[in-house]
Amino acid sequence: MLSSWMRPPAFSTAVRCLCVRAFGREDALPRRSGGRVRDFQEIPHTGSNGWINLLRFWKDGRFSLLHKHMENTFRRLGPIYREHLGSQSSVNIMLPMDIGELFRSEGLHPRRMTLQPWATHRETRRHSKGVFLKNGTEWRADRLLLNREVMVASAVRRFLPLLDDVAQDFCHSLRHRVETEGVGETGQRSMTLDPSPDLFRFALEASCHVLYGERIGLFSSSPSEESERFIWAVERMLATTPPLLYLPPRLLLRLRAPLWTQHATAWDHIFSHAETRIQRGYQRLQTPVGGASDGRFQGVLGQLMEAGQLSLELIKANITELMAGGVDTTAVPLQFALFELGRNPDVQERVRAQVLSSWEKASGNPQKALQGAPLLKGTVKETLRLYPVGITVQRYPIRDIVLQNYHVPAGTLVQVCLYPLGRSREVFDRPERFDPSRWSAESATPDAASGGSFRSLAFGFGSRQCVGRRIAENEMQLLLMHILRNFRLTVSSTEELNTKYTLILQPESPPRITFTTRSL
């Protein structure tokens, strides 16, 4: 992309018009002064004193509404602004043209903001760090080894049947429950429920099956206390992370602050659960029946141990990170997806028709079934456009760049704000509409000036994108496929869901969904 001072006048005029339409007034936009790139300090900001800003955040309860704060700040200050919160400072952007410029300056070893509370926990407990918390050449070496087991096409083919088994078992269990406890005629029994506890169990069961190669029986009438404690620990860890990002963790550790104690205790539970599963997997792999010689897929843990290129400590660190990041981050988007399908019956029927046709042609092959139903992938992308799990993607550019005609020095933390991006009228046509078909090849005609492909970033971008992306995408698509085969979905209210931020975006109150059985 041309630097802003090299763009032809017609292009600059077009971008100015684009931004005026987006933000409603021209005085919020950066102005040129004889073609001069404006200084970093001239970028609009929310206040120069980070500690005062942090106190205001706490006082106003803005941590739980950070996504709304970002959206409102862009409306007030324009398409770029600076934010100081406690010890953190960032430049925040939302337009695809700026996002593209940022990613082109990320370098061979892209860096994102380190979650210092997580890193401090690893250091104080003497745990190794996985790729999520690493940077530089060490990160790249480990990440390339992990990609072979979780990202490449051959890896997906290995674990897809395991995900499909769990998705089908979930739907069989739910169907049995609706048929025995629901109301209505045989064949069209209905039951209204909050599916979130079941979705959390599904996500944990699926993650364990793929990562450890074993089922843990969470669809039984009495799931284990160990697994319930793990789900609680992940939720507690996520909830305590945001306020800790802006304070010195080691100071809180020395002061034995309750917030830090809660956070560290939650991580201890997560590591304890993972350690137990890893030890079981290791013992199973040492026996002739469970070894790799029988040709069965032994899970990502088994693949990494068999390859022998990562130490056992690094395998533990990365498996634990994948487990911690693989439950809420799929269970919560599934809540949103079921809600949107329920309140958009026409969309639901279009997706279902494609699913049923593809399933029949695929003869039970899950990979072929997904390939023949692109609206499933569109449903996941559309859900994450409106409700991104993580609300920012961060990078530290390795060279000076120009964003919105402002100079941004190398090494500055720049955050791409996904919630306002996904709801921008200048980036998406009728953004309030839930429309999975907008992502199909025929209708995806993004304007080059608007940044083209930098519109769907829920899993990040490039070599530093989410390492569990392929697991999560397929897990969600397979469950939605089998739910649509088994049930019709309705909701009692079509009002917008209120949302809150606790390191991930989630409903303020889980939506209740009515599941009505349909003939298979």
Q: What is the rounded distance in angstroms from the CA atom of residue 84 to the CA atom of residue 49? A: 7
Which tokens go with 364?
Answer: 């039970």
* Residue 466 marked ligand-binding: yes
Q: What is the rounded distance in angstroms from the CA atom of residue 399 to the CA atom of residue 486? A: 52
Question: How wide is the angle at C-alpha 510 spanned by C-alphas 508 and 513, nearest 5°?
Answer: 145
Given the DSSP bridges, would you call strands 414-417 and 88-93 parallel, antiparallel or unpaired? parallel
Q: Count other Cβ atoms within 10 Å, centred on residue 41.
A: 10
Q: What is the rounded distance in angstroms from the CA atom of residue 281 to the CA atom of residue 230? A: 18
Q: What is the rounded distance in angstroms from the CA atom of residue 494 to the CA atom of residue 492? A: 7
Q: Which is nearest to 499 in space by CA: 351, 389, 381, 343? A: 389
Greatest alpha-carbon pair distance for the chain in Å reads 75
Q: Which is nearest to 106 in space by CA: 407, 462, 415, 453? A: 462
Q: Which is nearest to 239 in space by CA: 209, 277, 200, 265? A: 265
Q: What is the rounded distance in angstroms from the CA atom of residue 267 to the CA atom of residue 290? A: 30
Q: What is the rounded distance in angstroms from the CA atom of residue 159 to the CA atom of residue 489? A: 28
Q: What is the rounded distance in angstroms from the CA atom of residue 105 to the CA atom of residue 408? A: 11
Which stretch of DSSP H or E encloses residue 332? helix 328-343
Give Cα separations from 420 to 44, 348, 450 (angstroms). Answer: 17, 25, 15
**Contact yes or no for 100/452 (Cβ under 8 A):** yes
Residue-wise DSSP of 204-250: HHHHHHHHHS----TTSSS--HHHHHHHHHHHHHHHHHHHHTTS-HH
Q: Which is nearest to 489 in space by CA: 360, 334, 358? A: 334
How far does Cα 387 stand from its chain's mean position?
A: 9
Which stretch of DSSP H or E encloses residue 88? strand 88-93
Q: What is the rounded distance in angstroms from the CA atom of residue 235 to the CA atom of residue 380? A: 22
**Contact yes or no for 74/91 (Cβ under 8 A):** no
Kindly report the three-state secondary structure assignment for every residue of 1-33: CCCHHHCCHHHHHHHHHHHHHHHCCHHHCCCCE
Token pair 């975006």 is at which residue? Answer: 505
Q: Would you call 304 helix, strand, or coil by DSSP? A: helix
Annotated binding-site ranges: 466
Annotated binding-site ranges for heme: 466
